[in-house]
């Protein structure tokens, strides 16, 4: 028999691999579904790629790859016989623990036992070889099977290799010398001191400089001024301002070129007025969904605790297991897959997406979105109990909850490379929604983009207070953020009385009184949204000087789905993050038509299209002049990596230069694309371009919309094969940020054809401006692909009906728990992790993000 098995496996031996260090073995979840060894058909693990497949999908993988040998894993769950010995350790067949799986909550007790079964299956004949079979199988096959059976979970490996546990203490942390320059950092309103970027800003821990970082893959970033500051000063450590929390902050060492730990971060931040110790006393420091409860009543009301909620089952009623602070992801995805456009884009195209998925579908965004959507909508993982079980539940008035699906594979993919979402900490559901929309945008090229249902245009009107001249611009946004005017509370007298009692109790060292929640009318939030706001550092082109300016915002278009975020989270003056304890009377029906933009009105005079003067500090003019004569800055480490591959040194230098020092991988792609050119190995010739020290009054004035990006940046992008007119458009749309411009080109391929008919300098349409960094005094706004007639903006009436909302419980976005309520078939439901039930009292007034759908025209 041993000879027979050996001969049978001989043709397949070259395809059977032993897992090496770094290989991920998926033996608990299918790549295309949520089938597992506990499913009826078990799980098939490819003995070459180590991917897992349910019975429904293993044939597809065999046809696509020709891989014939799979390990079939099956876990049998059954109740213990009456009188059987108890114990927490389940009995397993063959006496070997070869399925390192999480125990199912429904069967995790003394009343159940497990029998694990493994066998090799050879396709297409489905010939089965039971395991273990050491004596009869070839040695290589035995070793491979044993390695697969004992391989750790790929997610456990990811967690142990996560950035949180790899981070080392910086060698500069202990000896860091901070300057006594009196710098104090406010709790909000940060911007780069050199380019006024308001996102991805970093605080240098030596001198307190606030400067922008470099671009991130998720679309955020800056112009690299923090790195430039380090090169000028050698001040090594910087902290990202919006990451400071009771447990620490993201610290980067420019000298060590990596994220580091700073054990003295609280002292270093206190030097600039940021009291983390006070923050630690205010926060509990726990980051699990069930520990941080600033007020029990919030948790009870939002989760509808104390009510006997009836579970529901079937299509659209599948819960999502909590992986530990993953509820921000679960609630967001539940709402998104209740929207027909998302259902159609992923579940409707499921077979096409699966058939054309890459060899590793676990790393394909569209595949994992389709998998999640089908898991939530199929009803396959939300089946009602058997009739006998149901009768028993009704008699006991205890309803058994469904198991739900585990989003481990999905979370690992969408959070990959992101410093926040890849951690196990609680996150902001609002930020995750924008992050996911960014991923949808990136992966929808040439196909339907379901996130367009949220996309709308905002018209910003900026007025110079001295001349009364105005400027209109447009930008893209995906949600409406409503401020919370506490002064408009309907129970203001009650709040004043509570504050008085609280102070009195504090002075007398007595217990504080019962908190009073502010009740804010929704109309007051809407009014606060429409109020004019001051424009910081406004430069009036009419006066050609800084002046007072005000900005108002209106809707230039209305999306099909309007997301309304109540801005409940803020920072106190002591840098303690806090959540406003408010109740807002959210309407079921919303009419925003009165906020429709009107454009330039009769009698209004527009501000001249003049570029603000370029002010160069005196102490940097000499160095700027000298630097312009020096050789270009090139990352020599990337050059050497490429040179070691055998490419000519000068070609490597050109590749690194023309890809903007973005790393060896990007430069390698440039080499592959240009290695056939005749001047491939010629020395680098830096393009020349005009860079006047100061604008001359004798030169004709140019508007910000018509001004050319730096020729050097244009040359870098065109050298990568992109059309000149497309690169100019991308640079204008991203404030001349090279990395973000490159990303913009990839995410706006449809702009290339439209831009061919446009002159390089006659860009009369306003440019796209990042919705997260839209400065009120910026002249750039809307790109041609975002014209009102474009399908990317689905304009229509501004009348909406509420169909879902996400609520948060906890003191800040760094802790607590999220649940969502959705209205389906005329009834409200609550989605609380894996539990899906009919809602008895949906707490609409305590929500955080509200989702409205456009009402059909009457």
Which two tokens mark 128?
Answer: 């089965």
Mean pLDDT by 10 residues, the chain (858 residues): 72 93 92 94 96 95 94 84 45 45 48 82 93 84 92 68 59 92 83 83 94 61 85 93 78 89 88 69 36 52 86 94 91 97 96 93 96 95 73 51 87 88 85 94 86 95 93 94 93 92 86 89 95 88 88 95 91 65 95 95 91 58 47 78 81 82 78 76 63 36 52 70 78 74 68 42 33 33 40 87 94 82 96 94 95 84
Residue 12's SS3 state is helix
Residue 177 corresponds to which tokens in the numbers above?
């010398």
How many angstroms separate the CA atoms of 172 and 250, rounded? Answer: 15
Cα separation of 806 and 783, whole Å? Answer: 32
> Looking at residue 645, what DSSP letter applies?
T
Q: Of 33, 14, 23, 747, nearest to 361 (Cα)?
A: 33
The CA distance from 307 to 769, in Å, is 47
The owner of tokens 């900005």 is 551
CA distances from 781 to 451, 738, 767 (A): 20, 18, 4
Active site residue 327: yes
* Two tokens, residue 493: 């007298």
- The CA-CA-CA angle for residues 604, 595, 436, to 5°, reads 115
Tokens 């691999």 label which residue? 17
What does residue 533 show for φ and ψ, rounded to 5 degrees? -125, 150
Structure tokens at 810: 């906890």
Name the nearest CA neighbour of 228 among 206, 213, 242. Answer: 213
Q: Quote the tokens at residue 606.
A: 């527009």
Please pick, among 748, 817, 821, 834, the residue that the annotation labels catalytic: 817
**3-state DSSP call for residue 145?**
helix
Bridge pairing between strands 69-79 and 112-122: antiparallel
Within 8 A by CB and 6+ apart from 354, the residues are 32, 57, 60, 361, 367, 370
Residues with Cβ < 8 Å from 1, sequence gap 6 or more? Answer: 136
Q: Which 3 state secondary structure label does DSSP give 64?
A: helix
The DSSP string of 516-576 is --EEE-HHHHHHHHHS-EE-TT-EETTTTEE--EEEEEEESS--SEEEEEE--EEE-TTS-
CB 140 within 8 A of CB 14: no
Q: Find out whether 527 and 521 touch, Cβ atoms under 8 Å.
A: no
Contact 31, 362 (CB under 8 A): yes
Identified catalytic residue from 30, 46, 192, 327? 327
Secondary structure class of 353 (helix, strand, coil)? helix
What tokens does 392 get? 């028993």
Longest CA span, the chain: 100
- CA gap 172, 81 in Å, rounded: 63
Q: Is 817 a catalytic residue?
A: yes
Q: How far apart are CA 538 and CA 546, in angstroms?
A: 6
Quick one: pLDDT at residue 247? 67
The token pair at 821 is 């309520």
The alpha carbon torsion through 845, 847, 851, 857 (nearest 10 deg) reads: 0
Which DSSP helix (H) or strand (E) runs through 823?
A: strand 817-824
CA pair distance 817, 294, nearest whole angstrom: 12
């Amino acid at each position: 028999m041993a000879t027979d098995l050996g001969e049978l496996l001989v043709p397949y031996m070259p395809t059977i691999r032993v897992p090496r260090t770094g290989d991920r073995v998926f033996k608990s979840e299918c790549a295309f579904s949520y089938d597992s060894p506990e499913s009826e058909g078990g799980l098939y693990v490819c003995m070459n790629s180590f991917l897992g497949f349910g019975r429904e999908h293993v044939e597809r993988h065999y046809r696509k790859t020709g891989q014939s040998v799979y390990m079939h894993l099956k876990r049998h769950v059954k109740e213990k016989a009456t009188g059987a010995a108890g114990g927490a350790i389940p009995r397993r067949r063959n006496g070997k623990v070869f399925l390192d799986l999480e125990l199912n909550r429904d069967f995790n007790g003394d009343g159940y036992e497990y029998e694990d079964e493994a066998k090799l299956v050879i396709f297409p004949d489905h010939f089965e070889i039971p395991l273990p079979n050491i004596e009869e199988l070839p040695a290589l096959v035995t070793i491979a099977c044993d390695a697969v059976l004992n391989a750790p979970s790929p997610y456990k490996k990811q967690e142990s290799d996560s950035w949180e546990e790899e981070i080392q203490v910086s060698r500069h942390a202990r000896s860091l010398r901070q300057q006594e320059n009196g710098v104090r950092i406010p709790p909000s309103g940060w911007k780069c001191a050199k380019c006024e970027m308001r996102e991805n800003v970093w605080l240098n821990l030596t001198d307190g400089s606030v400067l922008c970082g470099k671009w991130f893959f998720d679309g955020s970033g800056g112009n690299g001024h923090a790195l430039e500051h380090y090169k000028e000063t050698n001040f090594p450590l910087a902290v990202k301002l919006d990451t400071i929390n009771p447990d620490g902050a993201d610290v980067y060492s420019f000298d060590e070129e990596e994220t580091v730990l700073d054990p003295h971060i609280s002292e270093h931040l206190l030097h600039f007025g940021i009291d983390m110790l006070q923050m630690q006393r205010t926060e509990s420091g726990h980051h699990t969904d069930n520990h941080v409860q600033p007020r029990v009543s919030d948790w009870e009301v939002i989760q509808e605790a104390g009510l006997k909620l009836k579970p529901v089952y079937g299509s659209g009623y599948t819960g999502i297991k909590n992986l530990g602070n993953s509820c921000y992801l679960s609630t967001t995805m539940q709402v998104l897959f209740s929207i027909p456009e998302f259902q159609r884009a992923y579940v409707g195209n499921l077979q096409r997406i699966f058939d054309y998925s890459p060899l590793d579908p676990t790393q394909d965004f569209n595949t994992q979105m389709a998998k999640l959507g089908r898991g939530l909508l199929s009803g396959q993982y939300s089946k009602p109990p058997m009739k006998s079980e149901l009768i028993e539940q009704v008699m006991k008035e205890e309803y058994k909850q469904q198991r739900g699906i585990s989003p481990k594979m999905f979370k690992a993919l969408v959070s990959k490379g992101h410093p926040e979402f890849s951690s196990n900490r609680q996150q902001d559901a609002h930020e995750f929604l924008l992050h996911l929309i960014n991923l949808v945008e990136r992966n929808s090229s040439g196909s339907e983009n379901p996130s367009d249902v949220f996309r709308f245009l905002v018209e910003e009107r900026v007025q110079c207070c001295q001349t009364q001249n105005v400027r209109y611009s447009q930008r893209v946004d995906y949600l409406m953020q409503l401020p919370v005017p506490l002064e408009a509370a309907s129970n203001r007298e009650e709040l004043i009385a509570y504050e008085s009692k609280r102070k009195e109790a504090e002075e007398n060292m007595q217990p504080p009184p019962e908190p009073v929640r502010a009740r804010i009318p929704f109309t007051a939030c809407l009014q606060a949204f429409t109020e004019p706001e001051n424009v910081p550092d406004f430069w009036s082109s009419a006066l050609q000087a800084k002046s007072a300016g005000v900005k108002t915002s209106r809707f230039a278009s209305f999306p099909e789905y309007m997301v309304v975020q109540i801005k409940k989270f803020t920072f106190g003056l002591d840098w303690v993050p806090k959540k406003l304890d408010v109740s807002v009377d959210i309407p079921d029906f919303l009419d925003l038509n009165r906020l429709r933009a009107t454009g330039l009105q009769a009698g209004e005079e527009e501000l001249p299209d003049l570029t603000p003067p370029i002010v160069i500090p005196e102490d940097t003019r000499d160095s700027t002049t000298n630097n312009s004569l020096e050789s270009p800055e090139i990352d020599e480490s990337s050059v050497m990596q490429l040179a070691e591959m055998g490419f000519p040194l000068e070609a490597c230098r050109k590749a690194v230069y023309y890809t903007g020092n973005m790393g060896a991988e990007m430069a390698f792609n440039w080499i592959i694309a240009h290695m056939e050119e005749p001047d491939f190995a010629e020395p680098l010739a830096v393009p020349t371009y005009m860079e006047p020290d100061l604008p001359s009054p004798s030169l004709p004035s140019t508007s910000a919309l018509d001004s050319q990006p730096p020729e050097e940046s244009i040359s870098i992008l065109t050298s990568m094969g992109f059309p000149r007119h497309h690169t100019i458009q991308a640079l204008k749309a991203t404030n001349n940020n090279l990395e973000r411009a490159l990303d913009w080109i990839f995410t706006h391929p449809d702009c290339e054809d439209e831009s061919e008919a446009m002159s390089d300098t006659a860009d009369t349409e306003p440019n796209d401006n990042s919705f997260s960094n839209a400065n009120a005094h910026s002249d750039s706004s809307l790109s041609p692909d975002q014209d009102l007639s474009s399908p990317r903006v689905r304009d229509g009436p501004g009348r909406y009906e509420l169909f879902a909302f996400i609520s948060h419980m906890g003191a800040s976005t760094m802790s607590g728990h999220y649940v969502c309520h959705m209205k389906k078939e005329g009834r409200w439901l609550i989605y609380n992790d894996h539990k899906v039930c009919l809602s008895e009292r949906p707490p609409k007034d305590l929500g955080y993000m509200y989702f409205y759908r456009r009402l059909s025209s009457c």
